[in-house]
Structure 1
Amino acid sequence: MKYTSTALFSLLLASACLYSCSPNPYASTNREHKKQLKAYSKQLRTVPAIDPETSTLTFGEHWVGTTNFSLRRPNFVVIHHTAQNSTDHTLKTFTKPQTQVSAHYVIGRDGKVYHMLNDNLRAWHGGNSRWGNNTDLNSSSIGIELDNNGAEPFEEAQISSLLEVLAMLKETHGIPAENFIGHSDIAPVRKVDPNATFPWKRLAEHGYGLWYDEGVVEQYLQPAAPITVLDSTGTEPVLILQPLDSISTIPPHFNPKEALRIIGYDTRDMPAAIRAFKLHFIQDEVSMELTEKDKIILYNLYQKYL
């Protein structure tokens, strides 16, 4: 079938109209989103912010507005799994006022990305949390939710999209590598997401988060080499173990609780902090106790965070 140029143009125009005019199931919540942005914009434009007519403060003769300011600067990225059944389920959850929960990005199993809130605005994703001395992660972080029921592996399309989003965020906001963390890291008592199948090592290899030096850890685990020396008389051979060098020895004063605190974990509940650490860095055996290998990994990471 041959089309004239006019017919072809009409067909393309109809297709574009069909796409652009397709009903958006979130049209009403999008309107509410814009309404809230407008209200905040009006609030920001109210200058001076304190009404000199009603305040008891003594003000200067003139209001003087500084020219040196900007929007908030996010300095962390917190990764979550949704623990829900589908992307659509999560999108509906994040657009209902009564849920009081949201995130900046939602990434589906199929890799589709939903940017739900401007990076410079404060989403409600961290809840009661702490990382280092930061007790309000919502105000300093970007929240990313991955569509995952909490027990399943993460899809390759999803992780590929996540890596693209992280690259964009790191470049745009200058976020340090060590500040890409998980929800369980900042809320170890309450949360266990993202689950133990999440590829933290792969992210670290791309510059999003830190990882331990696996070669160094293996060196720690090497048994001491036996050598033969002469006894005090200089006549009888004696078999002894070659002492480990300083690189392969954890100092006797090493304090795991202090190391976890330096990394950023809230150690007020030490078993929960250990579980969160192991969920992120050990993964194959998540418990509330540190094995000898766990301590070696912790010590190696602790040195990176100093």
Structure 2
Amino acid sequence: MKFCLIDAEVFIDRPELLDPLRSLGAVEMYAGIPQDADEVERRAFDADVIAFGLMQFTNEMLDRLPNLKILQFIGTGVWNFVDVDYARSKGIKVLNIEGYGSNAVAEFALSMALAMAKKIPQAGNVLKTGGWSIDGLMGMEISGSTVGVLGTGSIGRLVAEKFVNMGAKVIANDIYENESLKKDWGVTYVGLEELFRSSDIVTVHMKVTKENEKLIDGRLFGLMKPHALFVNVARAELVNNRDLFEALKEGRMGGAAIDVYENEPPADSDYELARLDNVIATPHMAYYTQEANDNSIKMMVQSIADAL
């Protein structure tokens, strides 16, 4: 049996974590995203199992992999990276992993919100350009503010708890209400419009489905307070990013922190959003800690072993 980590060598800084796979067959690793279907075929033509973490799999690529039995995504939300229905129609089992970086992402969301609220990037730029002034740099305190958490699964739950511990009033929106958050942490569930209308900070932690694509649009941004901040470390597809760009450019909201993009690497429109002065933009790195990285490899290996 042959295992191919087709773009995932960057994740492997502890090779011994792959020993369970090596006991089952040959393991090949590659760095960088394949540029086209030809390169995918060169790397993985005879692979039985492919693990990937960065690239988009096209149907043409799948057509060129006759031995492929398992396609394992090293992350959450595999349907954003491959046509799962098409793969399954070819007899390919498609897998992803859950929860490996929940705390890492929650801490990152909190960090993004704090950096915006305290205007840390803008303050840093003052000194980087040889200045010394606090004009326009008055911050906002988290204690006493209202934070809206959109999605209270494994990540959103942690985000809500961390903000409560900082003294914020936390409101939330989800199809499934977390009873522990309500009972033990004082979180109140509200409607979507009320969440955007009442929050000083809105942070997004939903999974993408066909039903909620571009759910967050200009109508909701129009309800936000002029100073309110928006954090998206979930998926870009949840947001109408053109509406977000216009709201930020026109100063109708205080700022945004973005770690996810409709195209990765970003397209020109994504960079246009990232270049705005009231935006913090990072290269999809919220999950990227040593602890989460090790968890992802261990869970990937276990997922493949279970499937086999």
Structure richer in strand, relative to its length: 2
TM-score with structure 1 setting the length: 0.25
Task: Report which of the two structures shows the higher radius of gyration computed on alpha carbons.
Answer: 1
